[in-house]
Amino acid sequence: MNKKISIMIIDDNRIDLFIHHEFIKQMNIAHTVQEFAFASEAIKFLEENEASKWPQLILLDIHMPIMNGFDFLEKYATISGKLRENCKIIIVSSSLDVGDKEKVKENPLVLGLLEKPLNTTKLLSLLNSNVI
């Protein structure tokens, strides 16, 4: 991955937010990192901003209160495709639930699933194979 991208992290666990932010900083792959503890706030941000303010990558947790990752994806799918065309989503979860993994595989908006904690090799491989 040669260019730096903008990344949004959505996770209700403040420790995971901190760890993932630091991990991304150490990888030196992002020029900006936005953090949201609530998926509903992230959706609101996306709905209220033009594409130029959107991240190129969203790292999304599945299990969160109020609006979980799958609810986020449903709402995200209703946003104009023109806005979504340069933004990719990777699920980052500690869930080993087979049903969750199947839902992720079936969702065309999601590039893949990475287990927590993030792994440099796996993240870079997923980003490079999807030309981000």
What are the extents of the domains in the chain? 5-129
ω into 117 cis (within 30 of 0) = yes
Angstrom CA distances, 131 to 61, 89, 97, stand at 22, 13, 28
Structure tokens at 76: 């995200």
Helix (H) and strand (E) counts for the chain? 6, 5
Q: Nearest Cα to 101, choosing from 62, 58, 57, 59?
A: 62
Query: pLDDT tens digits for 53-98?
Result: 999 999 999 999 999 999 999 999 999 999 999 999 999 998 778 9
Judged against a pLDDT cut of 80, whether residue 2 lies above it is answered with no
CATH superfamily of the domain spanning 5-129: Response regulator (3.40.50.2300)
CA dihedral sign of residues 124, 92, 45, 26: negative
Other beta carbons less than 10 A from residue 46's beta carbon: 22
Confidence of residue 39 (pLDDT cuts 50, 70, 90): very high
pLDDT value at residue 71: 98
Cβ pair 39, 10 in contact under 8 A = yes
Reduced to 3 states (helix: H, G, I; strand: E, B; else coil), residue 111 is: strand
> pLDDT band at residue 117, thresholds of 50, 70 and 90?
confident
How many CA within 13 A on the CB side of residue 51?
A: 10
**Residue 114 pLDDT > 70, yes or no?**
yes
Amino acid at position 105, single letter? K
Spatial contact of 88 and 132, defined as CB atoms under 8 Å apart: yes
Average pLDDT, the chain: 93
